[in-house]
Amino acid sequence: MISTPGTNTASIKIGGACGFWGDSSLGTEQLLQVPGMRYITYDYLAELTLAIMAGMRMKNPEHGYALDFIDLMKKALPVAKAKGIRIVANAGGLNPAGCAAALQKAMDELGHTVRIGVVSGDDATHTLMQLRKDGVELADQHSHQPAPPFFLTANAYLGAFPIAAALDAGADIVITGRVVDSAMVLGALVHEFKWRTTDLNQLAQGSLAGHIVECGAQATGGLFTDWQTVPDWANIGYPIVDVAADGSFELSKPEGTGGLINKAVATEQLLYEIHDPAHYALPDVVCNFTTVHIEETGVNRVRIHGATGKAPSNLYKVCATYPDGFRCIGMLSIVGIGAHAKAKRTGEAILERTRAMFKRQGLADYTRTSIEIIGSEIDGLCSEAMVRIAIAHADKKAASIFSREIAPAGTSYAPGTSGNFGMGRPNVTPLVKLFSCFVPKQLQTAKVQVGAEQLAYKEPEHPKTGTPEAAIAATVHSPVAIPAELKGKRLIDIAHGRSGDKGDTSNIGIVARKPEYWPILRQLLQPENVRTHLSHLVKGGVHTFELPQVHAFNIVMQEALDGGGMTSMRNDPLGKGMAQVLLNMKINE
């Protein structure tokens, strides 16, 4: 174990067992066996996940949480309690009380006594309604579009202190609704180290520890650019952070597991979906990650320290959902000579045919359509391709007509049309869109319950946001001569990269393979160069942020994901592949 410099306080060992709803149960199995483990956290939620849960709750009001979490905890929670390991999970989604009740019932049936903590109060539906009644004009933070007439759901991103309060009250497991992803780790650390709201640097470091493990195996070699160097994917280890009282921590994984941890892997995850690295805004602290240092301290072990914090704003971010018609996605595989051209014409024919059917039946046109051709090509002749056709329509009847007209392509159009992957008719589903805005914190009250007791929880007073810092003038850098041996190569030869989303905004983190490549990358990654290379995907502004301590850059691109999440018609609605596209850029002067 590591110790805080200058003290004898031992570190707290926390594992990240789940990076999203649908992650493997392997993380739980591994982390329960790690000596000295104190907490295991589960991050189930993303903006897209909340939209899916909203659809679940529309069908069954008792749902709206991660249903499979209950089955996982039937085995894991008794073992964790026996070992003194506490669990924090945002599996409660839109219905944390329902999730806790289902878990309590399961534990009672198995004869186990556990104290279940619940953090709620994130439901912001009433808050948005009240603001609208008060004449406040709500607008989406990304698109700036006005708010829809009504919301299915609206949830504020709460912070770590309600989680700490539940742990203070003796909860064996804390189930939350919407909190920021890093709050589960930070809540455990606030409880253990008794950090206060004024301990801003510690809160920033604790948030960074939570940010590193919140995506599970992404911190241990998952999605790493140099994927060929990552051993034993099948048994990839899930991340562990040993956090000291000053917030510094070491990142590792269980002994005997697959995966890889080094400086490059950790830096890729540091950059993941943070946007401006000097102002990563969370409910409890605004983090500055440009001061972070990452050092390899052993095999599959790195030390991370140096994050600093500033006072948070007096606003909570709110993620809301609303219905906007229906969607359907059809796919067909096509092989043989000219497969790409055949696939494209097939998609166009399906849309043309169904539009004619709509007209005859007095139905309106599609609200949105997309045709994507996915596949490989050999010499432009022999190839195989998949045509993916996505549509949105206000009327379920029209979307159902589209669904029925995918299969007829098997005998009506191109030779080599080989099937729809055994999927049958594609499903027509409600189209649930996202709306994000900010609300004053005083309008949203976190609630904490442990067992049958409702705690008299009050959010501690946070430091007031100081006077905004003066804008730092952009430094003008002299042009860098690109070595002859690099010209004509691709960005991947000198950099790593990882990408993700925030609504319709895509975030690409780029890390120099060697320190001497950093000034070259700074020249190559000027916003206009990035915008040109990704012009087929990016419609809005591009901003490049520098992290010189770790020789990295964070690139934020607006209007880059065709609306993002469930709104997007693309095959990659979350921008996970955009770093790969950028790394294919050729290096030229």
One-character DSSP codes across 153-203: EEEE-B-SHHHHHHHHTT-SEEEESSB-TTHHHHHHHHHHH---TT-HHHH
Whether 5 has a pLDDT exceeding 50, the answer reads no
- H-run or E-run covering 130: helix 125-133
% pLDDT > 70, the chain: 95
The 10s digit of each residue's pLDDT in 172-186 is: 999 999 999 999 999
Task: Provide the residue type at 446 as one letter.
Answer: A
Average per-residue pLDDT for the chain: 93
- Given a contact cutoff of 8 angstroms between Cβ atoms, the answer to whether 175 and 64 are in contact is no
Q: What is d(CA 267, CA 554) in angstroms, rounded to the nearest whole number?
A: 11
Residue 39's DSSP bridge partners are 14, 86
The confidence score (pLDDT) of residue 476 equals: 61
Helix or strand holding residue 53 (H, E)? helix 47-59
- DSSP symbols for 483-538: PGGGTT-BGGGTEEEEEEEETTEEEEEEEESSGGGHHHHHHHT-HHHHHHHTTTT-
Beta bridge partners of 335: 384
Statement: residue 4 has pLDDT above 60: no
Give the pLDDT band (50/70/90) at residue 378: low
For residue 325, what are the contacts with CB-CB under 8 A and spacing of at least 6? Answer: 367, 392, 393, 394, 395, 399, 430, 431
Q: What angle do CA 136, 140, 143 make, to 5 degrees?
A: 140
Contact 39, 31 (CB under 8 A): no
Give the mean pLDDT of 37-60. 88
What pLDDT is stored for residue 8 in this prediction?
37
* Residue pLDDT, tens place only, 390-431: 999 999 999 999 999 999 999 999 999 987 766 689 999 989
- Residue 99 contacts residue 66 (beta carbons within 8 Å): yes
For the cut 70, the answer to whether the pLDDT of residue 564 exceeds it is yes
Residue 248, both tokens: 């510094």
Kindly indicate the confidence band of residue 342, based on its pLDDT and cuts at 50, 70 and 90.
Answer: very high
Spatial separation of the C-alpha atoms in residues 347 and 331, rounded to whole Å: 9
* Element holding 346 (H helix, E strand): helix 339-360
d(CA 567, CA 582): 23
Tokens of 80: 């964790």
Give the pTM: 0.94
DSSP 3-state assignment of 480? coil
Q: Are 449 and 117 in contact (CB under 8 A)?
A: yes
Query: Per-residue confidence at 3, pLDDT binned at 50, 70, 90?
Result: very low
Lowest mean pLDDT among 38-52, 245-259, 306-320: 38-52
How many alpha carbons lie under 13 Å from residue 533 in its C-beta half-sphere?
Answer: 22
Query: Which of the four pLDDT bands, split at 50, 70 and 90, describes residue 518?
Result: very high
**Predicted confidence (pLDDT) at residue 101 exceeds the cutoff of 60:** yes
Task: Kindly report, residue by residue over 343-361, the tens digit of the pLDDT.
Answer: 999 999 999 999 999 999 9
Asked if pLDDT for residue 558 goes beyond 70, the answer is yes
pLDDT at 47 over 80: no
Instruction: Average the pLDDT over each of 133-147, 344-358, 366-380, 550-564 and give the range with the smallest value.
Output: 366-380
pLDDT in tens, 53-64: 887 888 898 899
Which pLDDT belongs to residue 1? 33
The pLDDT of residue 202 is 98
- The answer, yes or no, to whether residue 9 has pLDDT greater than 60, is no
The string of DSSP codes covering 61-91 is TT--S-THHHHHHHHHHHHHHHTT-EEEE-T
- Cα separation, 137 vs 547, in Å, equals 36
What residues have CB less than 8 Å from 496, skipping those under 6 apart? 224, 225, 226, 264, 267, 268, 510, 511, 513
Q: What is the 3-state secondary structure (H, E, C) of 248-286?
A: CEEEECCCCCECCCCHHHHHHHHHCCCCCCCCEECCCCE
Interatomic CA distance for residues 468 and 300, integer angstroms: 40
Residue 490: closest CA among 373, 575, 579, 553? 579
Domains and CATH numbers, the chain: 12-312+436-454 (no CATH), 331-426 (3.30.70), 484-583 (no CATH)
pLDDT at 478: 76
Higher pLDDT, 473 or 107: 107
The pLDDT of 189-215, averaged and rounded, is 98
